[in-house]
Each structure stands twice: as C-alpha cells, then as structure tokens.
Chain A
Amino acid sequence: MVVQGIRKATVGQNGVGAFILQCKRLDFHYCDWAGSSKGMNSFLRNSLTKFAALNPQVEITVSPRPRRHPVIRGTYINGREKAICVRNLTKEQVLQKAELLRDANGEKLRKVTKPVKSINESVRGVWSPYHDGGIHV
C-alpha cells in the first residue's frame, strides 16, 4: 500500500451534462390599492399563469404587500436574492423584468474583461524556460 488516494469532491459544471436553471423562486409582491401596482396587478391577472406554465422550473409565489410599491424578488440556487421594484411599469415591462430575473444566475454583477473562463488545465501546457533549448548566454 504505497500509493494513497486523497479524498476530494468533484466540482459541478452546470450545463455540461445537465442544465439546472439558476433561478429557483420568483416572489411577486403587489398592492391592491396603490396606483403604482396597476401594471403589476394586470400582469398577475392576465399573464402570470402563462408565465408560470412556461417556466415550470421556477417556483412562483404571489403575496400582497399593502401600501408598498410592487416588487419581484428572485431567489437563486447560490443563495442570493435579486429584487426589482416594478412600480408604475406596464404589464409588458413587468414580464420583461420577470424574464430578466429568470435568466440571471444570481451572481453579483461585475465587470468581466476576459470573455472565456476555464477551470481546465492548459491543453498545450505551460511554456518553460528550461526546455526547447532555452537561451544560452
């Protein structure tokens, strides 16, 4: 028993085999009375059932939040939340915001300068100064 095995855990690569939508839950908060909830209420009445049927992966809850502006709150698999205030928006704009929350991955927004992110080892290897002749002084 000379060589030992080290116990580790594999790292998930969502999308390589299976794809899991990162948006776990969408909470829709509305107010019956306030005018800023007009578009939200119309969205809840008319388009929410269709939206929910098209996105079965997302758990959808609707709850009143009286005397407050309407809010859509998305909960993500990484544990973070994103909330968007949809006051005074029309029904279509509310749908747009809901789709935005659905497509997001829950990470904090950050500026990305390199387009490709990889955890794989370099395919061609790393250049070494000690090989391929090197520089002879």
Chain B
Amino acid sequence: MKRLRLERWSGQLLTARSIPARTRPCCLRQQQQAALPPRIRFSSSAAMLSDDLILEDGEELEEESSPSDTKYPSPPLEAAFNSSKLAALHARLNLSPKLPLQTMARTLVDPSADSNADFNNAALSSLGGSIMSYHVSEWLLCTYPRLPMTVLFAASYAYSGPKTLQLVGKEWGVETAAAPGEEVDPGHLQFSKLKPGQALQSQGGSIRPDSKSYYRRGMSSRVVYDDEFGDTVSKQAEHDVPLPTEHAYASFVKAVVGSVYLHSGSAAAKTFVKNHILSRYLQIASLFQFREPVRELSRLCAREGFEYPVARILSETGRRSRHPVYVVGIFSGKDKLGEGAGPSLGEARTRACVHALKAWYLYSPGANVRVPSDMEVAGAQEWEPVHIDMGEVIH
C-alpha cells in the first residue's frame, strides 16, 4: 500500500534519499502507525527541504519547489488534526469517535483531485454507494411493493441520486475548495471543477453487451445491466477528468456512509442512511407519468380479474358555461376505483383513471414495515414474508 511516485524521482532526489522517504501514510493504515511519533510522518517534506537548501542556486530551488513538482495533490494526513472545519463537520454529523478525522478527510478527496486510490474516496464511495442504494431499495420495495420499475428507478434516484446527495452534502455545510491541492483545508470538498463552457467528458460507452444502437433497451435488461437508477454504467472512465459538482458531492456523501460502515458497523450505517437519506420528504405519487391511463387501467382490471372499468359521472356543474366541471368516477362493478374532476368529460375520465392506477401502484403495507436488513439484529423476530407483487401492467 505504500505510495511510490516513480515519475518524480528526479536524479538528484533519487540519490539523496531512500524509497520510504517518498511515501505518504495512508489513512486506513494510520491506526497502525499512530504509535510512531508524528515527526516521522513529516520526514518526506523535511528531507525535501534539507535537500533543497543544499543547493546554492536560487533559481534551481524555485524550480524544485514548484507546486506541480513537489506538492501532493491532496492535503497531508496531519492536516486533518489541525482543521477546525473537519472537526466541526465530524461533530455536526454526530459521527462516532471511532471514525477518525483522517478517514473523514479522505472522504472529501475526490479521485479527480488525487488519483492515488490510497488517498481518494473512490473505494469508500463505491462501498457507501452500494450500502446506501441497498437500504434505499429495500425500503422502497418493502414499503411500496407494487411500484412499476420505472417509478422505482425514479424513486431511488430521488432518494440517493447525485442531485439529492448534493443537497445533502450542502445541508451538511460542506463547501468546495476552489482548486485541489496540498495547501487546501481538509474540511473542504476537493475535486477538479468543470470550467464554464467545458463539455462533459464522454464516458466511453457502456458496459452493456448489447450496446449497439439498434438494440432495444428494455426495462428488464436495465435491472440486470444498468445501475440502481436505470442508467447505463459507463466503461472504466478516467478519474482525473473534471466532473460536475453534484457528482463530487455525491461521492463524498457515499464515502461518509462507507466510512461509517467501516468504522462503526452495518447497524450504524443503516441508521445513518435512515436518518439522512430516507427521512427526506418525497411524494412518490408525483413521480408517475402515464401515457395511456385508460387503456392501462382496463388491462390491469383484466389481469386482476376485476370487472371491466366503467366511467360514470358523479356530479357536474356548468355544462353549458365557459368553465364546466365534471366529476367522473371509475367503477368496476360496484367498486369505485377512483375519481377525478376535470373541465371536460374526457379529461375527468383520464384523471380518474390516473387516480385509480396510482391507488393501485402505491399500495403500502405501512410506513414502518420490516425490511430484510432488520433480521441482522441479534434476537430479531422471525421474518414474515413481505408482499411481492407480480409487477406493473404491460400491454
């Protein structure tokens, strides 16, 4: 895990110092190295200084200490102890003291700032991202078992998508550094920003085997091949390219979840996700967009064995006026499935169908239904199978 910077072994430095002097301690290794006096961790920079001071030529000294050559792309570990922003962030999130500040500092370094995997949050963020999407999706599936796949993707995007995670990160009070570098306060989010007008780097195609344009990208294949929001997963992209702010915030929030999992355990990570992500407000009913609700409702009734749905006027006013209102109910036999009001009979019937479909799809066994990860707690009650629906109407 030691970090070697072969490209920077210029001739003079190579002769002057041995290999360990060019290493940087990694934060997850920090606990083993904590016994060492801190001066040892400063050794590389101290050695660097003494080497530079031997030189008599001032110009050469300047060249040697130019930022691109001697500085690390992210702040050193020792800076984490001295950053009040970082300590305040740690306390603000009420994180356990088991989670050290060095890890906290590492969650704030994006791969676009420091490409070394030992010092950026890429690993933590992929761990935390999968934990977060697991808890979000199990909660969504158990709470709303009948959601159509598209709406499920949209709901999980609403809870754990990059836009939301950017909001979460900002609500935690994290600011971005103007540019990444060694001298940056470790309490800032460090990533290389997109310049105005700069196009997003193309991600180099997807990992789907059927990536040809003439293949249809259906819903069931998205479950298998695509990510948790139904988007294609890009091929291994370069980490050094600048990225939008929301992606940097998203990987930071995911990395915090990952570090909570690493240092405090899965129960703590679950509570963290529940408190910070699932407690947010979303009206899932507003995520639906129907194309042909009348037809879909009749197909649903046929599938479920209900009687054929019939629209009936419940009440109306001002039929001959400029703004009439019709209230139409959808009945299947004697059961009213839904009702809607609209300025024309067709509009009212469509709204009634949408209402009936939403009532069907948004069935919920209760907000505090048990989820599979509740069984991980010792002494949990026996698992009762949750409701599993056969899925949305396909026609």
Instruction: Say if A and B assemble together.
Output: yes
Q: CB within 8 Å of B: which residues of A?
A: 1-14, 16-21, 24-25, 56-61, 77, 119-121, 128, 130-131, 134
Does the CB pair B148–A17 fall under 8 Å? Answer: no
The distance in angstroms between the C-alpha atoms of A24 and B87, with both chains bound, is: 12
For the complex of A and B, list the 8 residue pairs with the smallest distance between their C-beta atoms, beginning with the closest: A17-B279, A5-B154, A17-B275, A56-B91, A10-B280, A18-B275, A5-B150, A59-B88
In the bound assembly, the distance between CA atoms of A25 and B281 in angstroms comes to 27
Q: Which interface residue of A9, A12, A134 has the most chain B CB atoms within 10 A?
A: A9
B77: interface (CB < 8 Å): no
Minimum CB–CB distance for B166 against chain A, Å: 8
Set of chain B residues within 8 Å of A6, measured between Cβ atoms: 154, 286-289
Question: Does chain A have a CB within 8 A of B14?
Answer: no
Closest residue on chain A to residue B172 by CB atoms:
A20
Residues of B within 8 A of A7 (CB): 154, 157-158, 161, 163
- In the complex, the answer to whether B276 meets A17 with C-beta atoms within 8 Å is yes
Instruction: Please give, as numbers and ranges, the residues of chain A lying within 8 Å of B280 by CB-CB distance.
Output: 10-13, 17
Contact A20 B92 (CB under 8 A): yes
What secondary structure prevails in chain A residues at the interface with B? Answer: loop
- Cα distance A60–B283 when bound, in Å? 39
B 107-122 to A, binary, CB cutoff 8 A, 1 in contact else 0: 0000000000000000
Shortest distance from the beta carbon of B85 to any chain A beta carbon, whole Å? 5
Q: B residues within 8 A CB of A60?
A: 84
Please encode chain B, from 328 to 345, with 1 for each CB lying within 8 Å of some chain A CB and 0 for all others. 000000000000010000
The reply to whether B393 and A8 contact each other, CB–CB distance below 8 Å, is no
Contacts of B163 in A (CB 8 A): 7, 9
> Whose C-beta in chain A lies nearest to the C-beta of B393?
A2
Taking CB atoms and an 8 Å cut-off, the chain B residues in 270-299 that contact chain A are: 272, 274-276, 278-283, 286-292, 295-296
Name A119's closest neighbour in chain B (CB-CB). Answer: B281
**In this assembly, does B168 line the interface, its C-beta being within 8 Å of a C-beta of chain A?**
yes
Cβ–Cβ contact B288 & A5, under 8 A? yes
For A58, what are the chain B residues with a Cβ–Cβ distance below 8 Å?
88
Residues B290 and A3 in contact, CB atoms below 8 Å apart: yes
List 8 A-B residue pairs with CB atoms under 8 Å apart, sorted by A's residue number. A8-B158, A9-B161, A10-B167, A18-B276, A59-B187, A130-B314, A130-B327, A131-B327
Q: Which residue from chain B places its CB closest to the CB of A133 in the assembled complex?
A: B315
CB B171 to nearest CB in A, in angstroms, measures 5
